[in-house]
Structure 1
C-alpha cells in the first residue's frame, strides 16, 4: 500500500481431485481483495497445501486427551497448537517456505487464518496477563511481524463482501473498538444462515457464526 493506494495482485487457486477420497489443494499469496489499513506494506506469501476434504472424525478418538487444567492450557493457549495435523487429513505442504505452523486455514478470499492465539499465547483481542490487545484494521486483519503477511485471527464478513476504498483501523471504528466480538458477529448480518467462510488446515469447512436456521 502506497499513500492509500493498493498495488498488488490477488492470487487464489482451489483444485479438487480424487475419487472416494476427495483431495483439495489451496494455493494463495495471502493478499486480500481490498486495500487493508496497515502500518507497513503487506507482503505476498506462498501458501500451498493439499489435504483430504472434510474427512470423517471420531469424537471418541480425540487427538488430545488432557486430564488436568494445565495440560488443557498447554494445548489451547499455544500458538503452535495447529502445527501438527491429524493423520486422517493427510496434510501435505507444497510451500517452498515449509509448513506454516501457526496456520489455521484459508479464508474464502485467500487470506490466511492464523491461530486464535497471539504470539504471547493469549487471545489477541481480549488478552490475559496484562498484555495489550493487537492492533488490526476494520476488517480485523493485520500483517505478521515476521513476514508482513496479512492475516485474520477471527472471522469477518470482509472476506465475503470486500469493502471498496480505504478502510479505517479498528481503533478508528467505534463499533470495533467498543467490542471486537460483537463487531465481528454484526458483520454477518447479511449472511444469517450457514455460510462457508474458509477451509481449515485439516480439510474441514469453516462456517460463519450462524446456522441454517439463522441462530448463532
Structure 2
C-alpha cells in the first residue's frame, strides 16, 4: 500500500468539475496571497497541499506552483510556511521552471529562518543525480505503458524526490493515470525504486519494473517482485 496518492496535474476536463475547481481555487488563493483562506481550504481538502493549477486545452499552461511555491513567491509570513509544512507540503517539488520553494524564496530575499524551514533535505540534495536518473527511468516506464494517455490527459509526469523527503529511503506513492483504470505504485527498494503497474479491466496486465540508482530499468517476473 502506498503512503499517499500522488497529486496529479492534468487538463481541467479530465477530472470531475468539482475536483478541478478545487485545484484552481487553491492556486488562485495562493497567487492572490490569500494566506488564511488558502490554509482553510487545504485543511478541508486532505491531500491537496501539493496540488498545482491545472492546464486547459485552450493553451493555458501550468507553472506547477504548489501552495509552498506561492508562499515563497508571495513572501508569506513565517506562520504560513509552518502551517503548510504541517499539512504535508513537499520541500522537494519543483515548478515547471525547475525551482523549489527554497530556490524561489532565496531569489525573493526571504528571511534566513524561513529559508531554513523550506530547505531541501540534505540527503535529497546529496543524492540528486541518482534521483534524477531513477526519475528518468520511471518516466520511461510510464510512457512505455501509457504514453498516449499521458499526452491525452496533458498529464505531468511524477517527481520522485518526495519518495526520499521524509523517510530517507522508505517512501512510496500511488500515481494514477485517468483512463488507464489503474496506475503505478512506486516505492523505494534497496537497489533503487520499483514501479508496480496494472490495468484493472485487463487481466494479467500487471508489470513490476525495477529502476536502479543509475537509471537502469528491468522488467521483473510477475511471480517474483522485490
* TM-score in terms of structure 1 length: 0.25
* TM-score in terms of structure 2 length: 0.25
Higher relative contact order (CA 8 A, sep 6+): 1
Query: Which structure features the higher share of helix residues?
Result: 2
Query: Which structure features the higher share of strand residues?
Result: 1
